Amino acid sequence: MKHIIGVFTAAVILQLTGCASVPMAPIDQDTKAKEFSPAPNKASLYIYRNESFGAAISFKVSVNGKALGQTAAKTYFRLNVMPGIYSIESHAENVSTLPLTLEAGKNYFVWQEVKMGFMMGRSLLQQVDENTGRAGVMQSMLIASSVSDSDLTPLDTQTSGTVASAKLQSDVMGMIGILESAQGGSKQPIFVSASGAGKLGATVIEHWIVDSNGKKVVYEVKLTPSPRGGTDYRAGRLPSQ
């Protein structure tokens, strides 16, 4: 048994100490991104991974349900996007989700921390301050994103975007109202918009923006076909930043 555990541990360590490769952007784009100057009327979002730990594993990153590509050790994504609410996800052995509200003319930095996992690496997204973020980006190289800046729109400006029927949407909003009330929010929050955040088997995952007493909050909603007919649903509030 000890031998099996030893072999398994060695395999995990090997995964975390090798070297993965991802498509890189041209050097001039990397240099431009490191000027840290947002485009007019937009916000700059940097998602970086400046550690060598876990170098053998590439992690998929998505924003508002759209895959940017994968990170490797000492790499980063940079986006110039319209102000509003965005949901960033890192896909590893786990899925780490970070909702952010971006303002025009500002830089935002998200650190993708790599952690030891069971079968492979795990990750954790964390917003960091500008000085920490700039230092991390300067240690890294720009990745060629598979999504252009114009492909991304804030969640709070999107149309309905949910696969839920009107009846199901009403039921889910009833649950969200109970959850909001328990946290001191509105008992009757207003649905603003939704966007797809992927699938897990037959379960559809969406991020819903709701207005709770004038504050925009993000819920992760999971919709699963029920063997009894209809749709089972779950909702959980994502932490605000």
pLDDT in tens, 123-156: 999 999 999 999 999 999 999 999 999 989 887 7
Strands of the sheet containing 84-91, edge to edge, are 66-71, 59-63, 84-91, 95-102
Determine the length of the chain.
241
- Identify which has the larger pLDDT, 190 or 55: 190
Average pLDDT for the chain = 87
pLDDT band (50, 70, 90) for residue 200: confident
- Identify which has the larger pLDDT, 218 or 199: 218
pLDDT at 20 (0 to 100): 66
- Identify which has the larger pLDDT, 66 or 28: 28
Q: Look at residue 64 and give its three-state secondary structure.
A: coil
pLDDT at 54 (0 to 100): 67
